[in-house]
Each structure stands twice: as C-alpha cells, then as structure tokens.
Amino acid sequence: MPDYVAQFQRRIKKKEIRIAVVGLGYVGLPLAIEYAKKGFSVTGIDIDRDRIERLRKKESYISDVPTRELKEVLGRGKFSASGNFSALKDADVISICVPTPLRRKYDPDISYIKQSVKSISKNIKKRALIILESTTYPGTTEEVILPLLEHAGLKHGRDFYLCFSPERIDPGNKNFPVNKIPKVVGGVTEEATHLARMVYGQIIEKVVPVSSTRVAEAVKLLENTFRLINIGLIDELAMMAHEMGIDIWEVIDAAKTKPFGFMPFYPGPGVGGHCIPKDPLYLYWKARHYGFKSHFIKLASDIINYMPEYVTERVLDSLKKKGRPARKCKVLVVGVTYKKNIKDLRKSPSLDVLTSFRKKKVSVSYYDPLIPYLKFQDINLKSVPLTRGSLAAFDCVVIATDHSNVNYDFLLKNSRLIFDCRNVYKGQHCERIIKL
C-alpha cells in the first residue's frame, strides 16, 4: 500500500480528514449531513445564494434532511455552507453533486460539472480525492474531468485522485436513506478506488468497487434505462388494454403472483424527477458516437412523453360522450408533484397534464396538499380546497399523483367523474371512475 494511502486511512479512522460537497441539492445535502453526523468536518459549496442563506439560518429545504439534524451538525461545528470555492483549500475529499440536465431533447449538458471542476482546480489541496457523483455518460470522468484538471497543471496520483460514484438517492424513501444504499465506486487508478472505498465506508453500509470509472458511470444509466424501458412498456400495454376492454391493473396484480421471472411496473401519466426522464438519454447520446442507435431507449422515452397528452385525450373523450365539449369543461388535477408524498416538482408529468389541458382550451385547476401555489411557464395557480362546493364545479377530477393524505372517499362521493391514473380506487367499479 502506498505511503499516502496508508496515511489517508489512518486519518480517516481518526476522522481527521475534511470533506467538501459541491452542490447542495437532493443528492449533495443528504451526503454532506451524513458525513457530518459521523463526526467529519464538512463544507458545503453551492452557487445558489438562497440555499446558502437558508442553511445559515438552520433551515432545511430538502425533505430527506430534517431541520433538527441540520441544526445538530451546525451546532457542533461539523457542517458549514459557503458560496465560495476557496473554502475547498483544506478539503481532503471533494464530492461533486451538481445538476446534469439535457441541453436539447437528446443532448447532455455537463456545463455545471465543467464549471465546478475548473473552480476546484484553482482551490485544490495536494492529493485531494475528487469524486464525481453527478449522473453522466460513460467516459466523462476520464475524457472530460481528468483533462481539465491536467490542463490546470495537476497530475493524477501526485496532485489529486479521481473517482466516479453514481448517486442513487430516492427522495422520500424512508427504507433506503443515503447510508443504506450500496455505493458503487470506480477510480481512474486502483489507489483512487481504494481511497473512495475507505471514505464511503465511513457512512455507507456496503461499498461496491468496479474496475473503472466508465463501468461506474454506466451502472446508473443501466439502472434508470431498465426502469424507463419497463415503464414505457407498461404504459403502451395500458393503452392497448384500454382498446381491448381489459383492466391493466388487474392484469398486473395477477401477473405479479408469479414468484419468479416477473417484476411489476405500473402505468401513469408520465415519469418525473431528475433521473429517469434524462439519464437513459445520456446513454442514448453516447451510443450514437459509436455509431449505435438504441431503439428501445428512444421508443420508451417517446411513449412516456406522450402519456400526459394521452391522459388529456382520454378525459376529453369521456366528457364528450357526456355532451361536454372541451371549451366548456372544467377539470381538476389532483397531485402535481412527480412522486407521492414528496414536495418535488422536477419534471413532474402532472405539469405536462395541466399544460396539455390548457392547450386544448380546457379550464383547469389543481389541488395538492404539498404545493400551495404553482407558477411555471404561463401557468400561475393556487391549490383549490377540496370541498363539496369546489368539487361540484368540475366536470372531471384527474388523480395524477396519489398523495397519502388525500381523502379519496370524499373525492369519489362529491365528484362527477374521476380519471384515476394511479389505481387509487383499486377493485372499485363505478360509472364515475375511469382508470388509465
């Protein structure tokens, strides 16, 4: 074992190393707080002034980080937040957890990664371990980040170590907080992988090393591509089952009784969140550079992107049969977050459903117990109360997100028509219930 690696290991055990996390969103903040809870000194870096100000006021803006935990680590002096990259100069470990959106429909945007790496290169401690967690295409770590650091005059193994470890955060999942989710790590060299294993091993129950950064990068994309394709498949089967007069939800429930060879996926109005709608398209884009076109990824993505419009068409078709043309319809969308019980609107398909109704000149409102007001694009709405009087004004209620704290019995008793995208009324057969 090289001398520095042995020294690093001794310092980890004594909790002497200092850790920095760049990007304090849904991935970075839980990671930073977990290290701080274990007794490490942690610095969080974010260019969002509002986030830094709220952290300094001891306010958590992430559901997976309780304010009491934030206050506890701040009170012990184990965590601090800054908007200045100069705070990295004492960091032995730097985790990069910044956004990686799409520039156009199929083109990755890794500009946040590049900007962060350039700032890190100017403020790096000698032999610091840099770990990229942001989801990206295979090759990013060695083809983009490594050259950026070396262009700044730094040399791997002498001035820094570089590793990739895909984030696997599932917001709101109480069964799998950050410390319970196995961590995949792949370094540019074996030493880098070993250092990352030691660091993550302090807070995470299981660390899984792989042979390279490219393998580690591909792991996250495989996970979410698997989900995208299966969700796209079940969405298509749901549309097909409707044409055949078959209840797809009953089919799924019966199929999942098989104890092997089947995994249930469920249809819905689309897919939201930061990962599934985007990550497979990073793989799709990279594959094209090798002259390979992934038909499955594009097809599944196209089907899922069509689902908000499909929901709209089904609702309007049902209302038309009742003598209600679109221009005279009033629709209420229940649930606008991308996932139940989570205050998160990132790429929520419910927003696309709202937009689709508006394009068809339908008067549309929403109710969500977690989102009191909604402002995006040209939509500026407040959540309507669920009362007998308010529900009587709507021709149809669309259940787009099935939050647990909604009184669905009350909704059913007081609504003219319900379009159930989430099988809330499982096993109930009523003329006023239409299932996706």
Kindly report, residue by residue over 228-280, the tens digit of the pLDDT. Answer: 999 999 999 999 999 999 999 999 999 999 999 999 999 999 999 988 999 99
Single out the catalytic residue among 275, 329, 396, 421. 275
Q: For residues 134 and 132, give the distance between their C-alpha atoms in angstroms, rounded to a whole number.
A: 6
pTM score: 0.93
Name the one residue in this structure whose structure tokens are 């055990």: 13
> What is 3-211's CATH topology?
Rossmann fold (3.40.50)
At 4 the pLDDT is: 82
Name the one residue in this structure whose structure tokens are 């007794």: 39
Q: Answer yes or no: are the C-beta atoms of 202 and 274 closer than 8 Å.
A: no
Evaluate if residue 114 carries a pLDDT over 80.
Answer: yes
Of the pLDDT bands very low, low, confident and very high (cuts 50, 70, 90), residue 324 is confident
Kindly report, residue by residue over 37-69, the tens digit of the pLDDT. Answer: 999 999 999 999 999 999 999 999 998 999 999
Q: What percent of the chain has pLDDT over 90?
A: 90
Checking 201-208 for CB contacts under 8 A at 24+ apart, the result is 202/12, 202/35, 202/38, 202/40, 203/34, 203/35, 203/38, 203/178, 203/179, 204/178, 204/179, 204/180, 205/179, 205/180, 206/182, 207/182, 207/183, 208/182, 208/183, 208/184
- Range 151-168 average pLDDT: 95
- Range 193-220 average pLDDT: 97
Sign of the torsion angle spanned by Cα atoms 88, 207, 279, 380: negative
Look at residue 253 and give its three-state secondary structure. helix
Q: What percent of the chain has pLDDT over 70?
A: 100
Look at residue 108 and give its three-state secondary structure. strand
The full set of domain ranges for the chain reads 3-211, 228-435
DSSP, residue by residue, 12-51: HHTT--EEEEE--STTHHHHHHHHHHTT-EEEEE-S-HHH
Q: For residues 411 and 374, give the distance between their C-alpha atoms in angstroms, rounded to a whole number.
A: 21
To the query of whether residue 97 is one of the catalytic residues in this protein, the response is: no
Evaluate if residue 1 carries a pLDDT over 70.
Answer: no
Tell me the average pLDDT of the chain: 95
At 104 the pLDDT is: 77
Look at residue 333 and give its three-state secondary structure. strand
- Range 310-329 average pLDDT: 92
3-state secondary structure 111-126: HHHHHHHHHHHCCCCC
At 5 the pLDDT is: 85
Q: Rounded to an integer, what is the distance from CA 201 to the centroid of its chain?
A: 24
- Range 201-229 average pLDDT: 97
> What is 228-435's CATH topology?
Rossmann fold (3.40.50)
Q: For residues 320 and 126, give the distance between their C-alpha atoms in angstroms, rounded to a whole number.
A: 69
The lowest-confidence range among 27-31, 171-175, 304-308, 403-407 is 171-175
Return the percent helix, strand and coil in the chain, to nearest 5.
40, 15, 40
The phi and psi torsions of 132 (rounded to 5 degrees) equal -90, 125
* Cα–Cα distance list, 116 to 56, 214, 241 (Å): 22, 20, 48
* Cα–Cα distance list, 15 to 96, 161, 198, 238 (Å): 21, 19, 12, 53
The lowest-confidence range among 221-225, 322-326, 350-354 is 322-326
- Range 297-318 average pLDDT: 97
At 377 the pLDDT is: 85
Look at residue 189 and give its three-state secondary structure. coil
At 427 the pLDDT is: 87
Domains 3-211 and 228-435 share a fold: yes
At 326 the pLDDT is: 81
